[in-house]
């Protein structure tokens, strides 16, 4: 049970690149990182592409005016000169800038937290992974939903054989907010997402499905895809070549099969983020719209609904408990969980505590890299006419 | 609103082939056909492959001993001699016998109702279709779930443009009752389903997904598949070459895309029969586990739950209403609805009333034929290595 | 498992009083009684206060014109003369006529099935109970919802101690169809319900809550109310003195407490028929809007959802199974269940088989009498200013 | 939309009394107050009745060792001497100490936030209210659930006449965590709750139902109870005279009626915190277990499900939005909302900004006082034998 007491000697001095007033995701980072003030303290930022607005915003969230920077380069240059300079930075900018900012941050000696999808290519991710290792730094990826502790419950149940051998994996992350192209033209947050130069080789595959794909890996760490097929569409034609809808079929090395559907044109859908893992004995199902519940269905027995915070849950799940039974946790709690783990990982890395790092389940650089690999394989299949491709 | 008052001059004299004591589906036929005694009367039967058991059963359900026959051939031969002989017959036998019995029935001058999947090949279905036309008889197919009047509500809403242009079709019919192979060995009803000689070229594609595929056609009569891909598995290996799990991807002629998942190894799943139609403005969703509800989700508006029997529903839906608001209808009511339409169709055919036949929405020989076509295309794709195939 | 095979030597010759074309409830009786043609056969009727309409209707549901009677008195008089005269009659008329018709039927030597609330006073019910005993006849009461076999599952689980000692009883039957007084003026079915001369001393207490109260007795046969308090209102003032909303508090002899809410002004409510039984260890909950499910919540364990037809259910529940797992049953199946039990009871009574009668769980004259007692006590409390009254 | 930007010139210097390591509720206060570091900063505390444990805890949550005090008296005395002394204090101690600590805090010139139920008597609350006015200080009460912005949506819809005239109020807050007396003996948090000397005149009425009662007042500010009846029980006998279950019936001045059920022996119940408001045209329903949804049921129309963050919601509701559509908020967000309003109220009070205070909807001293009045009336009725009492 987490109650805000410190897990590390002192909070990291932390900054943000992007995530200012006009970016919805910025608040998720801050509310995650600053949850208890014992993991991170926000001391600097290059919050906005508009430096004046960025400074105004920074001051409003408590950053000293002198440490509100016009851009990330200046911030890294200036902060490195300070004795109390930043130690970690979160990157909440459009996809196309992740690679260069992460690289610069590592070279400036900073731990990094970056938005998903991490970069455009696996090659970039491998390069950054090596750089991070060389620099002794952590790169975390904000698969925010994955901080929901029911993921750890599912992971534990899978590992304990509670569902038997995994046979079928059913993943979905769909919504309908882009059923029309209206926002493509007017929303800053949406405009770049359908521009391949900034968004990269995919829209919803990267924007939505990498979350769900990572969660599936977290739950079933031993399941490896052997081949897949991706059929992607630009249902709203102006989005071509980027997809706003995609179906993926998967074959796993153990013989299991799977599906994923991701879409932002699933009109009216408000509960389309779901995971179902079917085993030989039972299934597990979780819906993001009911984040405090887990459905455990043993064939031939009454279906069970497991509820967050209850003592019958696995200790790995209960370890991330904050509010207690009957009290609903939500996405802000999930973000707080992963940011706390980022801090613990950074601290362990600084101390050379490899044992802690090995046992910590959180979205690290490998999770980011695997997300890119997922997109690359999907795009390769889709571009080959929705053909089966070996998963590379 | 239906209240049992007659729709046709007098009930048809009706018999069954199969559907005896050991066959669960037989009761669904009888409870559907005999619902109000104004559509059909059960007067004869060859209920069982075991003639003694069949006669005992027949007498117990009210058939005169003298009209409980040892097999369908005898029944057709003997009944034709009677002035009050049977006029219609329902076939509730294993798949492999449907074709020959249907043919014999038509040749004996009977209207036919047959279980799905109708036959093994489209060629057989076309032959029977021609024979039925020649004989002036109806062949109905018991896609029982399709009798739920919410299907007609969805059809009406689609036609009225309530969801805009159809973009995505999401179909599922899964359960977990065959998660192990236990029943394959001991259950008469299950044994033949995994024997290709009797079941035909598919297990769950025919046994489950033809229902859902037909319902999708009923809801969206103008949507034609242009190509599809089917990835099928024998998750329980002993079932090979028949599949107990299959994923299908579909492309429609209008540019829409779709998916279907069918499985009998979806362990623990008791709510896996679902239809979601996504349009450019809104979506419709129906779950067989909540058969009295329909979800109507307009993008950007509060989700609506439409409930059976309410006055805001379309008149085509309300026409099949039986119990009224607040009163749950179930599968037996759905079967009663389709059997009533079979009777109306048979009567219209007898009277040469083509107008009635044209407007009646029910699972006719074409629906049966299209179900076989569906299976054929799926199997062809699956056998080609889960490759895309043109829908033929 | 029921499949339509006969439970009694031959079906009873059966008639209806009321329940014609304009009465929604009539169809529920017929669809229940005639479900398999092995319990009852409809051979006569005085279906309508309008004899012409009644005859037309009767012929349409298959009754011989000569046995469509203008009124119940004529029917009883004429049928008694026939060798193949009726043996049982169902009464589906407004409340105010139940007593006289039931009495006449018993005196004509008929078994009776009557709508709820049975009569106006406990005294009437006791008189009829004695008359039925004297005549050796059954009087059944159509608490139709109670035929849902999950009631028997709850009964079995309570008896087996699965929830521990009963502590709290939570009953509700509310809807909103009378939120305005519109139907009071124009609907034949509603007009008399708010007329105390015809409806009796209550509206929703009798029309709705007697169902739920009986179901609670069926589930917990040993629980006796010691005192209660009823606070009733005419929310739509024109209905005074009859209530369209009532709250009841109950104390049971074993120290348990309970509540009931009944209303027809619960605007928009379509899922307001619910039963929750709280024990010292666990609770059971059933919603009529999800009639195939039962929620079993053991304190400190994952909540269980029991689903109709599954082998883990009690054999008493499974005995009334018709359609099998995954196949939704609804209210028509529940009515078929109770009508089958009426037939079994009538047959046992005719044969003097007291053993069968003792073990048969169905809504008999006592259930009808207790429903009236329930209303009487509620009304007495309400009329005393919503005061506590001893349950008499 | 809230994104952490400051609403007041600078955060208040804030301390806690109680809420240390062993008190679950303490974290809710801290996570609420410190959400964005722009409303409150935790600078001091008397966190624990065990001073050593309290200091250790305080240091762990970032409080300077020198400002971790052994008790509230010392804290108030010492802090008042500092130039940077605390300006506001939250009280998260057992009920019996609320009055004296609140009084001391106000006399020390502090704004106060206090747990519910605020005090034991209305007289105490009125005295404190006057003291607070005299001192120019705010007293807020942590009805934490009420911070869910869907409460404001309901309030807006009620005010805009969306449900018509209010007719029925249905309130429930039940769980089963005290189904046995096990925790009474061993849990520090539970032991005092069943001790009238510390808990005051009620257990669940104060501990649970005051939340729900306040929420009902927030939603329907114009609805005044005229009389009520409370039937309370000590289902687990050792808890007498305090109740672990209570039923309340209410009559409102406008003629509406209502009910409330509160219980901690509702075995297995994990979704028992619900509010339903029935109007002449429609109903609104909210369940704490689905905190991001609101059910809007217009009689005769499809039921609507309103979902948090959607643009169709009222601006008063959207003003408290943090995470955006599709992203679940939970109880920690609700607490953050009310703590932000506490800060805004304190700041307005300091600045003499009565306009802001007048328009701010949050649980103030009046809300605390009304909660006590609620308990007093319930207890008075219960102790009179569950008799109707005028609401005073």
What is the pLDDT at residue A142? 98
Q: Evaluate whether B246 touches B233 at the Cβ level (below 8 Å).
A: yes
Q: What is the mean pLDDT of chain D?
A: 97
Interface probe for B, chosen from D282, D298, D302 (most Cβ of B below 10 Å), is: D302
Chain A residue closest to C301 (CA)? Answer: A312
Q: Is B9 exposed, middle or buried (0-12, 13-18, 19+ CB in 10 A)?
A: exposed
**How far off is chain C from D280, nearest CA to CA, in Å?**
6
CB contact under 8 A, B168 and A279: no
**At CB < 8 Å, which residues of chain C contact A?**
296, 300-307, 310-312
Q: Evaluate whether A282 touches A297 at the Cβ level (below 8 Å).
A: yes
C311 and C182 within one domain: yes
- Reported confidence tier of residue B22, pLDDT bands at 50, 70, 90: confident
* Structure-token pair, residue D190: 């539970």
Q: Residue D220, SS3?
A: coil
| CB pairs C-D closer than 8 Å | 126
Average pLDDT rounded to a whole number, residues D92-106: 97
Q: Please, which chains are in contact with B (at least 3 CB pairs closer than 8 A)? A: A, C, D
CATH number of the domain within which A184 lies: 3.30.360.10
Q: What is the mean pLDDT of chain B?
A: 97
**D contacts of C261 (beta carbons < 8 Å):** 170, 259
Cβ-count burial A24-46 (b if 16+ within 10 Å, e if not): bbbbbbbbbbbbbbbbbbbbbbb
What is the pLDDT at residue B186? 87
| CB pairs A-C closer than 8 Å | 32
**A contacts of C312 (beta carbons < 8 Å):** 300-302
Interface probe for C, chosen from B4, B305, B318 (most Cβ of C below 10 Å), is: B4
- Reported confidence tier of residue C307, pLDDT bands at 50, 70, 90: very high
**C contacts of A309 (beta carbons < 8 Å):** none
A104 and A181 within one domain: no
Percentage above 90 pLDDT, chain D = 97
| CB pairs B-D closer than 8 Å | 32
- Reported confidence tier of residue D361, pLDDT bands at 50, 70, 90: very high
CB contact under 8 A, A269 and B297: yes
Residue-wise pLDDT for B249-301, tens only, equals: 999 999 999 999 999 999 999 999 999 999 999 999 999 999 999 999 999 99
Average pLDDT rounded to a whole number, residues C158-170: 98
Residue-wise pLDDT for D266-316, tens only, equals: 999 999 999 999 999 999 999 999 999 999 999 999 999 999 999 999 999
**How far off is chain D from B346, nearest CA to CA, in Å?**
37
**At CB < 8 Å, which residues of chain D contact A?**
2-6, 11, 21, 24, 26-28, 30-31, 34-38, 42, 57, 60-62, 175, 177, 270, 273, 288-292, 307, 322-333
A238 and A97 within one domain: no
**A contacts of D175 (beta carbons < 8 Å):** 326
CB contact under 8 A, C299 and D179: yes
- Reported confidence tier of residue B152, pLDDT bands at 50, 70, 90: very high
CA distance C155 to D52: 55
- Reported confidence tier of residue D23, pLDDT bands at 50, 70, 90: confident
Residues in Cβ contact with B345 at an 8 Å cutoff, skipping those fewer than 6 apart: B138, B140, B356, B357, B360, B362, B364
C153 and C141 within one domain: no
Average pLDDT rounded to a whole number, residues B40-52: 97
What is the pLDDT at residue A24? 82
Chain D residue closest to C170 (CA)? Answer: D261
A265 and A209 within one domain: yes
What is the pLDDT at residue D24? 82
Tell me if D3 is assigned to some domain. no
**How far off is chain C from B210, nearest CA to CA, in Å?**
16
Tell me if B329 is assigned to some domain. no
CB contact under 8 A, B307 and D311: no
Q: Is D224 exposed, middle or buried (0-12, 13-18, 19+ CB in 10 A)?
A: exposed
A204 and A64 within one domain: no
Confidence check: pLDDT of D156 > 90 = yes
Chain position carrying tokens 């605007």: C267
Tell me if A332 is assigned to some domain. no
Its domain, for residue C222, covers 148-323+369-390
CATH number of the domain within which A94 lies: 3.40.50.720
Q: Evaluate whether A292 touches A265 at the Cβ level (below 8 Å).
A: no
CA distance C276 to C169: 6
Q: Evaluate whether D282 touches C268 at the Cβ level (below 8 Å).
A: yes
C181 and C140 within one domain: no
- Pairing, β B272-279 against β B166-174: antiparallel
How many domains is chain A built from? 2
What is the pLDDT at residue C189? 83
> Using CB atoms, which residue from C235, C247, C303 is nearest to D249?
C247
Tell me if C226 is assigned to some domain. yes
Average pLDDT rounded to a whole number, residues D29-37: 97
CB contact under 8 A, C299 and D164: no
Q: Evaluate whether A142 touches A114 at the Cβ level (below 8 Å).
A: yes
Chain position carrying tokens 């059966």: C14
> Using CB atoms, which residue from D302, D306, D311 is nearest to B296?
D302
**A contacts of D335 (beta carbons < 8 Å):** none
C380 and C283 within one domain: yes
Tell me if B335 is assigned to some domain. no
Confidence check: pLDDT of C24 > 90 = no
- Reported confidence tier of residue B23, pLDDT bands at 50, 70, 90: confident
- Pairing, β C257-263 against β C12-18: unpaired
DSSP state of C115: P
**C contacts of A302 (beta carbons < 8 Å):** 296, 304-307, 310, 312
A108 and A225 within one domain: no
Q: What is the ipTM of this complex?
A: 0.97
Q: Evaluate whether C12 touches C346 at the Cβ level (below 8 Å).
A: yes
Residue-wise pLDDT for C88-139, tens only, equals: 999 999 999 999 999 999 999 999 999 999 999 999 999 999 999 999 999 9
Tell me if B4 is assigned to some domain. no
CB contact under 8 A, C167 and D265: yes
Residue-wise pLDDT for D242-270, tens only, equals: 999 999 999 999 999 999 999 999 999 99
**B contacts of A301 (beta carbons < 8 Å):** 268
Angle, CA C84 vertex, CA C83 and CA C85 arms, to 5° = 90
Question: What is the reported pTM?
Answer: 0.97
CB contact under 8 A, D301 and B312: yes
What is the pLDDT at residue A194? 92
* Structure-token pair, residue C154: 């709850």
10-residue mean pLDDT series, chain A (392 residues): 96 97 92 97 97 97 98 98 98 97 98 97 98 98 98 98 98 97 88 92 97 98 98 97 98 98 98 98 98 98 98 98 97 98 98 97 98 98 98 96
Q: Where are the alpha helices (DSSP H) in B257-363?
A: 315-318, 331-351, 354-359
Note the residue count of chain A.
392
Interface probe for D, chosen from B302, B304, B306 (most Cβ of D below 10 Å), is: B302
Name the nearest CA neighbour of A264 among A193, A375, A174. A174
Q: Is B103 exposed, middle or buried (0-12, 13-18, 19+ CB in 10 A)?
A: middle
Average pLDDT rounded to a whole number, residues C180-203: 91
C192 and C102 within one domain: no
Name the nearest CA neighbour of B250 among B241, B242, B259. B259
A132 and A41 within one domain: yes
Could you list the beta-strand ranges (E) of chain D. Answer: 12-18, 40-46, 88-92, 111-114, 139-141, 166-174, 225-233, 245-252, 257-263, 272-279, 282-287, 293-298, 303-307, 389-390
Percentage above 70 pLDDT, chain C = 100
CB contact under 8 A, D38 and A21: no
A217 and A170 within one domain: yes
Tell me if A328 is assigned to some domain. no
Tell me if A331 is assigned to some domain. no
Confidence check: pLDDT of D22 > 90 = no
> Using CB atoms, which residue from B177, B249, B280 is nearest to A231?
B249
């Amino acid at each position: 049970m987490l109650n805000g007491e410190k897990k590390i000697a002192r909070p990291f001095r932390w900054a943000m690149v992007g995530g200012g007033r006009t970016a919805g995701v910025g608040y998720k980072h801050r509310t995650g990182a600053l949850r208890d003030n014992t993991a991170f303290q926000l001391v600097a930022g290059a919050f906005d592409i508009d430096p004046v607005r960025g400074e105004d915003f920074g001051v409003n969230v408590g950053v000293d005016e002198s440490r509100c920077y016009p851009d990330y380069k200046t911030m890294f240059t200036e902060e490195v000169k300070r004795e109390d300079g930043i130690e970690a930075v979160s990157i909440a900018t459009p996809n196309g800038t992740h690679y260069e900012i992460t690289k610069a941050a590592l070279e400036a000696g900073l731990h990094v937290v970056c938005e998903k999808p991490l970069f455009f290519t696996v090659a970039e991710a491998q390069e950054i992974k090596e750089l991070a290792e060389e620099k002794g730094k952590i790169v975390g990826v904000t698969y925010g939903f994955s901080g929901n502790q029911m993921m750890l419950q599912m992971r534990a149940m899978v590992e304990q054989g509670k569902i038997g051998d995994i046979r079928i994996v059913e993943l979905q992350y769909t919504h309908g907010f882009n059923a029309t192209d209206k926002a493509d033209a007017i929303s800053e947050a949406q405009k770049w997402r359908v521009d391949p130069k900034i968004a990269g080789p995919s829209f919803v595959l990267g924007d939505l499905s990498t979350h769900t794909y990572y969660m599936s890996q977290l739950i079933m760490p031993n399941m490896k895809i052997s081949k897949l097929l991706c059929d992607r569409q630009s249902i709203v034609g102006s989005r071509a070549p980027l997809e706003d809808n995609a179906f993926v079929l998967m074959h796993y090395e153990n013989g299991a099969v799977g599906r994923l559907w991701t879409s932002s044109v699933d009109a009216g859908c408000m509960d389309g983020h779901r995971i179902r893992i079917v085993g030989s004995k039972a299934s597990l199902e979780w819906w993001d719209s009911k984040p405090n519940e887990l459905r455990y269905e043993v064939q031939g027995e009454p279906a069970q609904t497991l509820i967050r915070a209850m003592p019958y849950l696995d200790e790995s799940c209960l370890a991330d408990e904050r509010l207690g039974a009957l009290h609903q946790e939500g996405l802000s709690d999930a973000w707080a969980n992963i940011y706390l783990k980022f801090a613990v990982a950074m601290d362990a890395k600084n101390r050379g505590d490899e044992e802690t790092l090995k046992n910590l389940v959180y979205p690290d650089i490998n999770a980011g890299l695997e997300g890119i690999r997922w997109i690359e394989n999907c795009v390769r299949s889709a571009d080959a006419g929705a053909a089966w491709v070996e998963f590379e």
